[in-house]
Structure 1
């Protein structure tokens, strides 16, 4: 075979010689079936020879790359492990050397498969999770909003593997338009690989972010959470899951969690959370430092249980919560752990009362909440009056706000209201800091954008009112080495 193949390769004009030879062989056959079989055999030989030549070329290229690539294998894997998931896949397709390095489990410690247009399905997610195995540290899945969906979001956020936090949820129609082909749809079983082999992949997972996965349900999410007992950072945005069941799973399994961010897919409709679930969450997750429950029906008694119960809580966000009136603020400044809270966001809470905000500002003037550095009571529909929440106040507590500004220069107070009322924009930050783009840092550490503009409240009478001039606050998150603190940015 070697001599025969060698003679073929030595031909000066193989196309003509082989063509004439094949024609004579075919003509020498006695009947038509034999001639057809001869032609088919020639095609098989030609195809085998072509594939063999391609394999030989790849082996030589791989050997060349191995000899010319300056980094050793382990260092190459280390470099690849720093790439985002998309770049890692591009590198794996470059050559067999890079493919071998890019399939090492260490390269899949941080998996980010989020996109504006979905490009992956359950099989891709499962493959990457299984490649990572026990090395899996972070997993991000789902559909992000388009830059045009929110002008504030487009201006203040860039879509990278480090700053996808706080992405607004999409409407159901938007999700359906984005889904496209079924081959790019994530379903309720997309997290199943976390629970395989006794939960080996999920055992050491520390960060789980899920965005706008339309087919995900409470059972599938809770099953995944039961396997993620080392979870420190959970972010759930735009999923059709029940708040109570989700928090029950967190309080049962994720006792070390430090950051909890859940945004309703249907603002103002989920009333599942009860007081017992709040108490279980406080007792089961004592290390929570950053809590965001956005778009749910949260009564003041439940909010009080959460805020007063978490002893380490420094960041609290209950934006677009339907039932909060502000009564829980009356006891916020008292008690053994009242001074820990540094960030409080009550933006667009429809039933938030003007009198409760006024009394809270007076309590701040009286010395309560000394560590509070960021307070947002902005509302595109104004604050409600004490007698009837349908009566809106667009210029609340102006005297107290001015007094707080003078007495607490270190407090960033946002009170933004629609232009049809009296628009007020108060920032307790140095003008030079704002112009230079500097931020208010609660502590040292690497900071990354975490928060986008709030989701559009479905219960609002005017979805578009009062969004202009709203400011953005960035949330703390766990980056695998330590817990980053809030960063404040000014629009």
Structure 2
């Protein structure tokens, strides 16, 4: 035992394989002696641990001074550490060889399988063994990067590393904080028409994030998208999808800089960023001519009214392939929406939920024209200024055969629809809005019309003529209000009181005079 523990001097003569300088070849006899000595030493692992402890204590007691005792302890710890690392390294090598022999797929198919994993699962797989690690370093495995998290734990360095690994193979990038599911909103009882569930526009909403503000903030900074434009824009050049969620530090400059590096972008989703609608759409119009899907939810519900008519016209002219458009939570006006909906000839999906100032007049005479005729999904949920009269007109046109491809229509409003002629009135009348007729004649449409069952409503079906005391029909109401039905402004006494006026008659861009009754009112703008 004493001899075994005093052999580190001979072990020190063994050349280190990691030393950069060349070493003389060891004596074969010395190697054999060292191997035999190590084998004998390893056989001690079968001995009771108590006997090894006693032997080591006896060795320490036989040392003449404390310095020798300390040296023996240090050598024992060092030797144990070297053996431990050698054992782990050999185990990894054996596992790698075993995996290579038993893994049924060749490297190219292994890379294909790993490329189907989400980013977090890919990192876990790469940490299992060296074989998977080598395969996971292939750029194809990082073609679709998803670094969204419920709590902020991704920083700029992680984003940069992933984008560099992807290189020119990068196809999609998702970043930011994904809020947890929210509880049901409001206490009103829904009134649902249709057997299908609501179409989920997006998995995330900025409104779901409100409870997190002040408690958690993303550690991604405004420069987190800079790697897209690095290396002469190699990574951003082929990027097809960019989804950004609740990254508080991204501003107009950083977002527009990232979009300028993505000329092949097809899918852009922005939720909860503190960026301006107009500047973002200008950047998309200038840099992303191939875009097909645009989803933008405001972080300042009802406050961003920066969108201008020329911006709408430029977007229509420069991005003709757009098929899906969602602008949620912005202050929009009907005449601007009409430019967009009528201008995009391939448009199939629109969502203007929770937007202010929309009365619904932009929908007039759309379904039969080339612009808007291909719509399959239309979502106008919780648009506070949406008029009952305009909803009735829309459904009447659906019954008349317009919007032939429409499959999903959501006109729900937790406050009720805006009443005609009363700036504070909220109403809903089944005799004015032909919901049941639409469901009977167009059963392929999933029609959602959820309204509060209680509240102060002006029931238009109870309106009577002063002379005839008869119920007002839909046709007479439409004809009597056709000339001035869009000239009223409506407000709500509810939580929308921060922005009461619908504003469709105010704030219009100079030089854009419109007549909302004409179906061709913006043809000259789009030509």
TM-score with structure 2 setting the length: 0.71
User: Could you tell me how far 1:81 is from its partner in structure 2?
Assistant: 1.2
User: Could you tell me how far 1:397 is from its partner in structure 2?
Assistant: 5.5
Q: Check if 1:131 corresponds to 2:165.
A: yes
**Aligned twin of 1:171:** 209
Q: Which one has the largest radius of gyration?
A: 2
Q: 1:374 to 1:173 in 2, by over 3 A?
A: closer
Q: 1:176 to 1:96 in 2, by over 3 A?
A: farther
Q: 2:300 aligns with which of 253, 263, 266?
A: 266
Counterpart mapping for 1:312-391 below 5 A: 312-333=346-367, 335-391=369-425
String of CA shifts for 1:229-285, please: whole Å, max 9, x gaps: 111111111222211121111111111111111111221111111112111111121
String of CA shifts for 1:374-416, please: whole Å, max 9, x gaps: 2221111111123344211133654533443444343333222
Counterpart mapping for 1:384-423 below 5 A: 384-395=418-429, 398=432, 400-420=434-454
2:160 and 2:227 in contact (8 A); partners too: yes
1:26 and 1:39 in contact (8 A); partners too: no
Q: 1:129 to 1:91 in 2, by over 3 A?
A: same
Q: Helix, strand or coil for the counterpart of 2:148?
A: strand
Q: 2:279 aligns with which of 229, 245, 270?
A: 245
1:40 & 1:276 partners in 2: Cα distance? 78
Q: Helix, strand or coil for the counterpart of 1:224?
A: helix
Query: Unaligned regions of 5+ residues in structure 2, if any?
Result: 1-13, 15-30, 187-196, 458-491, 497-527
1:383 and 1:396 in contact (8 A); partners too: no
User: Could you tell me how far 1:23 is from its partner in structure 2?
Assistant: 7.4
Q: Helix, strand or coil for the counterpart of 1:296?
A: coil
Query: Unaligned regions of 5+ residues in structure 1, if any?
Result: 158-162, 424-458, 464-491
Counterpart mapping for 1:112-151 below 5 A: 112-150=146-184
User: Could you tell me how far 1:33 is from its partner in structure 2?
Assistant: 5.9
User: Could you tell me how far 1:310 is from its partner in structure 2?
Assistant: 0.6
2:219 & 2:239 partners in 1: Cα distance? 23
TM-score with structure 1 setting the length: 0.76
Q: Helix, strand or coil for the counterpart of 2:364?
A: helix
2:431 & 2:338 partners in 1: Cα distance? 23
1:354 and 1:396 in contact (8 A); partners too: no
2:367 and 2:373 in contact (8 A); partners too: yes
Q: Check if 1:7 corresponds to 2:37.
A: yes
Q: 1:275 to 1:236 in 2, by over 3 A?
A: same
2:373 and 2:403 in contact (8 A); partners too: yes
2:427 & 2:434 partners in 1: Cα distance? 15
Q: Check if 1:461 corresponds to 2:499.
A: no
1:460 & 1:199 partners in 2: Cα distance? 51
1:308 & 1:460 partners in 2: Cα distance? 33
Q: Helix, strand or coil for the counterpart of 1:202?
A: helix
User: Could you tell me how far 1:164 is from its partner in structure 2?
Assistant: 9.5
Q: Helix, strand or coil for the counterpart of 1:301?
A: helix
String of CA shifts for 1:177-203, please: whole Å, max 9, x gaps: 355xxxx73232222222211121121
Number of aligned residue pairs: give it.
416
User: Could you tell me how far 1:372 is from its partner in structure 2?
Assistant: 2.7
**Aligned twin of 1:198:** 232
**Aligned twin of 1:485:** none
Q: Helix, strand or coil for the counterpart of 2:280?
A: helix
2:155 and 2:219 in contact (8 A); partners too: yes
Q: Check if 1:47 corresponds to 2:47.
A: no
2:418 & 2:118 partners in 1: Cα distance? 46
Q: 1:23 to 1:265 in 2, by over 3 A?
A: farther
**Aligned twin of 1:426:** none
User: Could you tell me how far 1:22 is from its partner in structure 2?
Assistant: 9.4
Q: Check if 1:186 corresponds to 2:220.
A: yes
Q: Check if 1:74 corresponds to 2:74.
A: no
2:36 & 2:260 partners in 1: Cα distance? 63
Pairwise CA RMSD of aligned residues?
A: 3.1
2:424 and 2:493 in contact (8 A); partners too: no
Q: 1:100 to 1:29 in 2, by over 3 A?
A: farther
Q: 1:27 to 1:252 in 2, by over 3 A?
A: farther
Q: Check if 1:111 corresponds to 2:140.
A: no
**Aligned twin of 1:447:** none
Stretch moving more, 37-46 or 13-22: 13-22
User: Could you tell me how far 1:8 is from its partner in structure 2?
Assistant: 3.1
1:358 and 1:396 in contact (8 A); partners too: no
1:395 and 1:421 in contact (8 A); partners too: no
